[in-house]
Amino acid sequence: MKTRYWIAFGIAGIIIVMMSAYHYWERPTKGDVAPSFALQDIANETISLSDYRGKVVFLHFWATWCHTCQSELPLIDKLNREYSTKDLKVLSILVDEQHPQKNAKEMKRIVPFDFPVLIDPQGKVADTYEVWGVPESFIIDREGMIVARFSHAIDESEIKSFLSNLL
């Protein structure tokens, strides 16, 4: 009886590992078309990824409770200012579930930045992009293809290296 239990337990474990691996490999990544979306920003204006076709997009998922995300805001704002004249568009997607507009406005007061904050409180766009944690960022080229995915805190030199090849 113990042998059957261990065999069943082993098979279940293998299935779980295989399902997790498959799910991980299916995440939108380099070479994939960036999934389209439309979200409202903190001023209640609808912004769509398709509005920026023909531009390079730096898409950043974050949360106000994430300290790493907070520390990245000045760098993202710097990239926005440096590259905006070269057809880079920064779009940030806030995944806070409670009071996202209030939280975003408060964060902009504490850490001033000048790029759009889109609200995704139910995480539908984050789910579409298979974002499992924040911060997570994407670089999308002028044709709407993902050229980079960063599932970690961003590094200025790494981002600028990608951007210099696209802009």
Each residue's pLDDT tens digit, 84-122 = 899 999 999 999 999 999 999 999 999 999 999 999 989
Residue 21 has a pLDDT of 46
What is the three-state SS of the chain? CHHHHHHHHHHHHHHHHHHHHHHHHCCCCCCCECCCCEEEECCCCEEEHHHHCCCEEEEEEECCCCHHHHHHHHHHHHHHHHHHHHCEEEEEEECCCCCHHHHHHHHHHHCCCCCCEEECCCCHHHHHCCCCCCCEEEEECCCCEEEEEECCCCCHHHHHHHHHHHC
Indicate the average pLDDT of the chain: 89
- Residue 110: the pLDDT is 92
Burial class for 98, CB neighbours closer than 10 Å (0-12, 13-18, 19+): exposed
* pLDDT band for position 2 (cuts 50, 70, 90): confident
Q: Which amino acid does the sequence have at 5?
A: Y
* Domains of the chain, each with CATH number or no CATH: 31-166 (3.40.30.10)
Q: pLDDT digits over 39-92, tens only?
A: 999 999 999 999 999 999 999 999 999 999 999 999 999 999 999 899 999 999
